[in-house]
Every structure is written in C-alpha cells, then in structure tokens.
A and B are shown apart, each in its own frame.
Chain A
Amino acid sequence: MSGRGGALVLLGALAALPLGAGPLFSEFYLALAIRAFAFGILLLGFDLLAGYGGLISFGHAMFFGAGAYATALVLKHVTASFWVALGAAAVAGAVLALGVGFLAIRAREIYFVFLTFAFAQFCYHAVNSWEWAGAANGLPGIPKPTLGFGLDLGNRTLLYYTALGLALAAVAVARRVAGSAFGHALVGIRENEERARCLGYDVTRCLRRAFVLSGVFAGVGGGLLAAHQSFVAPTVFHWSVSGEVLLMELLGGMGTLYGPLAGAAFVIVLGDVLSSWMAERWLLVMGLIYVACVLFSPSGFAGLWRSLRERRGAAETPGTP
C-alpha cells in the first residue's frame, strides 16, 4: 500500500517539477532531471542484464554513446523528427550490442567485464578519430528536434515531459520483461547457469537477447541525452561513464529495477550539487557514500527501502511475535 502511495507522490512531484522551475528554483534543475531520466532508462536495461541475468558489463557507455551519436547525426543530417532520431538511437544500440554480445557472451564474470570494457574503449578511440563525426571535438550545434504537430523540443518543459514519458514507458517495458518467462529465465541463469541449461534453456541465446535489450535501453537513453544537449562529445563513450553506470546499479540495488533508477537519480543530482560546492573533491564524498552503502546496505537503496518498510510493518501490527 505505502509503496503505491509513495510512487503516486513521487509521480505527482515529477509531474509538477516544471511548475517550480523559474519562480522556485533555476531551470537548470529541469535539465538535470532530463539527464537523470536518460541515465535511468539506461539503468533499467542494465539491471535486466546485470541484476536479473547476472552479467556485469563494464562497457555500457558504448551503447549510450552510440545512441547519442546516432541521434545527433540524424538530427544534423537527416531530419528534425525526434521519433526518427530516437529510433536511430535504439537501432544503433541494438546493432552494436548484437555484435559485441556475439563476441563477448562466451566469457563470464571478470572476463566478460574486461571484454566489454575493451570493446567500449575501442569505440571510444574510434569515435575520437572519426573525422566526419567531429573526432575529438564531437558534434556541436545539434538542431532542436520536433515532436511533430508543430511541437518544438527546444521548449525545455516540453522536453522534460517527453523525457518523463519515455522514462515511464521504459519502466513499463522493463517491468513487463522482468515479470515474463524470459525474466524468470534470466534469474534462473544468474542463480545457476548449468541448472538453467538442464531445464531446457539455451543460456547463450537468452543472455544475448538480454544484452541486445540492454543495448536498446542504453541507446534510447543516449538518444534522449543528445536530443536534450545541443552537443555530444566522445566522452559519452569514456569508461568513466560505464563506471558511473555500475555505481548507480550497485548503489540502487541489483535486480530491483526501481533501485537502479533511484541510483541514477542520486548519482546525477548529488554529483551536480556536490561538484558545485567542492569542485573536483566531490568524488571523495561520493566514494564515502559508496563505502557506507556497501557497509550498511549491501543491497543498495532498494534493500534499505525494503527493510524500512518491514520495520514499519512490524511496528504497525502489534501482537505478532
């Protein structure tokens, strides 16, 4: 009950956020929220792969970057339609994940981590020297996309609601996948791969599918980021982005979907607040928070939320031993 109530309050607050921008706080916070939505979409797909399927990738920046570049290039050279550009981002993420997944999903655990890292670094350096796409300078001056019906996403409030809608749609899709037979199969593979094989699952194919799916989510997230910023740089492919993704996942709580979403919002918002206070040293604080989280709530925010609710539930029903 309280979970649903909490979700409604949160949704209401998110829907009302643009009303406060301007009079109450700077419009900059809307931009920050859009960034958080972009990462949140990526994290949903990442959680299906890592939290449910147990495959930890250290290279998701490449799918995020591929989506961002695909969107930027389509907006610059093909059409101003947001939907076409976002579709291109999804396809770019999927195709790249298909290729990388085909090669990398022979390995597991640390070897898989290194392989995905290597592919992502390869992409980073390739984009850095890709002259047509601006090489190290990136792609400045991305035109503002349109939604159709004369709606221009240069309007930040409209972009905010579009991003919110995309994030909600991503939540719906991710929940659906997690609750499907495929989602259960991923959990079975994570828990015991050999057992899943003996129950008739083609493990390699299941994991490849999950990998491609996470590539689509990451591509869409990257596309949203590119549509929001008027500029993309090769740094979206940098390994530190993959590291941030992993941090968001671990802080949020693996295999819970909502946890990693909260992790994404937390890292984006706190990162911004802290870095405006203490410049480079904010990473020190983030590191301490991370250590505290590992020590006191290894299952992340989701675990913390669950134990808080359980404690309150126990207090509300006196008489039970």
Chain B
Amino acid sequence: MTALTLDGVNTFYGRSHILFDLSLEAREGAVTCLLGRNGSGKTTTIRTIMGLTPPASGTIAWEGRRISGLRPWQIFRLGIKLVPQGRGIFPRLSVEENLRLAMVRAEIGDAGVELGKVWALFPILEERRRQPGATLSGGQLQMLAIARALLGRTRLILMDEPTEGLAPLVVQSIREALGRIRASGVTVLLAEQNVRLALEIGDQHHIIDNGRIRFSGPSEAIRSNEDVKTSYLGVSRR
C-alpha cells in the first residue's frame, strides 16, 4: 500500500526553482531510496515533505490525507520524523536531554521504557547518556538522531544521508539499525549518495537529478541499467 505520495511538487528557495513537478511514492513498511548526486534535490525533497520548505504547487499526501500546507510540528504529530543531514543534535544538551526534549510531543507512554528501548538499540548511547551532544563522534550523533526520531509513535522516518562521512564500521551499525527499523514496520524514505548501500537495503528507488525524478524502480532494475547508473549516479561502467 502506498503510504506517502508526492504529486507534481514544485519547490522554490526564494526565486530559484529547485524541484520540478516531482512525483514519487513510498510504500508502507518498505525502504524507499532517493538517489542522486550532490545538489540534485534530495535534501529539498525531504525538507518539502517535512514542511520546512513548503511546496509552491503540487500535493503531498500521507495515507490518503493531504499534508502539504501543514506546519512541521503538525506533520511531526502524524508520526513523520526527520533525521536531518548533519544530524541536528543539540550540542549543549546531553544525550539524555536530547532524547527527553524529543519525547514531549511524541506521545510516548513511559519515558523510562522509551529510554530503555533506545539503550537496547544503541548501547553506546547509554554509556554516553550524560555527555553533551558536542562531544559525541559522528557515528554516535547519527545513532542519537535516529533514536530520537524513533521515540513514540513513528510511522514514517525521513533520513537525509545518514551515512555521510562515517567510517565503514559505523556505516555497518547504521545499516543494521535500518534493518531493525524496517522490521518494526516503520516506513523509511532514505536520501543517499551511497548507491551500494541503498541498492542493498532499499526496496524501491527514485533517482533524482536537477530536481526531477529521472528513473524509478526496484534495486534489480537499477543494477541492470548501466545508463542510469552512469548518467545520474556517477557509478562508472565496469
């Protein structure tokens, strides 16, 4: 079932046109990837869905309900959570404070139970629970950003380049976390530059270039399409 639909979305930053008639779908419980080079419009697409840069035209629907035009905090309350590029952790707040701040509006039951779930998913965060965000490593920040987005009732998680700038070993643990998120039934929209990772964990892919969707299909369709890989993803022909 289609959970998220973008239909003919146009987004501007001031007067510059960024997204052109962009349409895409994300199926419920699946990992949908948004692939493209730097500056292709991945982040803008994610920000547009979250309501941070509302579309000038076109509609965004979540489970059949129109969400374009809603404010970010209203979209959040539908269970749509953002893991932003650069992680967006509050640097002066501790790990636990960062999590607690995210709990207030997230309709959680018991704070202790929620924290327990986070520590189970990422044990390293429990060790660092009193440390300020600024002292965490890149991988730990990413784990915290993901854990924060999973608090409470999360239906859709929007991830903007979660593995950017991380060491291979850390990428591995993020990949495992993604697997567990998917297993728990949460829908994932993942913007990635790491094509290998995306093809491995994604179900459906949309390739974006210059603010337009150029190709959509499952992993095999992209693996077997050398043209798409070379022209839009910068993967060289072997």
A residues engaging B (CB < 8 A)? 181, 184-185, 187-188, 191-192, 194-195, 197-203
Given contacts A191-B92, A194-B52, contact A199 B84 (CB under 8 A): no
A contact residues around B104 at 8 Å (CB): 181, 184-185, 199-201
Number of interface residues of B (CB under 8 A): 23
Q: Is the CB of B71 within 8 A of A197?
A: yes
Most buried by A among B52, B72, B84: B72
Most buried by B among A197, A200, A202: A200
Contact string against A for B residues 49-77, beta-carbon threshold 8 Å, 1 for contact and 0 otherwise: 01010000000000000000001110011
Q: Shortest beta-carbon distance, A25 to chain B, in Å?
A: 42
List 15 extra interface pairs beyond A197-B52, A200-B104, CB under 8 A.
A181-B104, A184-B97, A185-B101, A187-B90, A192-B88, A194-B52, A195-B90, A198-B81, A198-B82, A199-B76, A199-B106, A200-B105, A202-B71, A202-B73, A203-B73
Q: Is the CB of A198 within 8 A of B101?
A: no
Q: Which of B71, B84, B90, B106 contacts A188 (CB 8 A)?
A: B90
Contact string against A for B residues 74-103, beta-carbon threshold 8 Å, 1 for contact and 0 otherwise: 001100011010001011110001001110
List the 5 closest pairs (A to B, CB-CB), nearest first.
Answer: A200-B105, A200-B76, A197-B72, A191-B90, A195-B88
B residues engaging A (CB < 8 A)? 50, 52, 71-73, 76-77, 81-82, 84, 88, 90-93, 97, 100-102, 104-106, 148
Given contacts A184-B97, A191-B91, contact A199 B52 (CB under 8 A): no
Q: Which of A184, A187, A198 contacts B72 (CB 8 A)?
A: A198
Output the nearest chain A residue to B50 by Cβ-Cβ distance. A198
Q: Shortest beta-carbon distance, A27 to chain B, in Å?
A: 45
Most buried by A among B76, B84, B101: B101
The answer for the CA separation of A199 and B103 in the assembled complex, in Å, is 8
16 pairs, CB–CB < 8 Å, chain A vs chain B: A184-B100, A184-B104, A185-B101, A187-B93, A188-B90, A191-B91, A192-B90, A195-B84, A195-B90, A198-B72, A198-B73, A198-B81, A198-B88, A200-B77, A200-B104, A203-B73
A contact residues around B71 at 8 Å (CB): 197, 202
Q: Is the CB of B100 within 8 A of A200?
A: no
Q: Shortest beta-carbon distance, B191 to chain A, in Å?
A: 15
Q: Shortest beta-carbon distance, A263 to chain B, in Å?
A: 21
B contact residues around A194 at 8 Å (CB): 52, 72, 88
Q: Is the CB of B73 within 8 A of A197?
A: yes
Output the nearest chain B residue to A188 by Cβ-Cβ distance. B101
Q: Which of A181, A187, A198, A200 contacts B52 (CB 8 A)?
A: A198
Q: Shortest beta-carbon distance, A303 to chain B, in Å?
A: 14
The answer for the CA separation of A223 and B200 in the assembled complex, in Å, is 67
Q: Is the CB of B106 within 8 A of A200?
A: yes
Q: Is the CB of B88 within 8 A of A201?
A: no
The answer for the CA separation of A188 and B76 in the assembled complex, in Å, is 16
Q: Shortest beta-carbon distance, A214 to chain B, in Å?
A: 21
Output the nearest chain A residue to B87 by Cβ-Cβ distance. A195
Q: Shortest beta-carbon distance, A319 to chain B, in Å?
A: 22
Q: Shortest beta-carbon distance, A84 to chain B, in Å?
A: 36
B contact residues around A181 at 8 Å (CB): 104
Q: Shortest beta-carbon distance, B3 to chain A, in Å?
A: 19
A contact residues around B100 at 8 Å (CB): 184
Output the nearest chain B residue to A194 by Cβ-Cβ distance. B52
The answer for the CA separation of A194 and B160 in the assembled complex, in Å, is 15
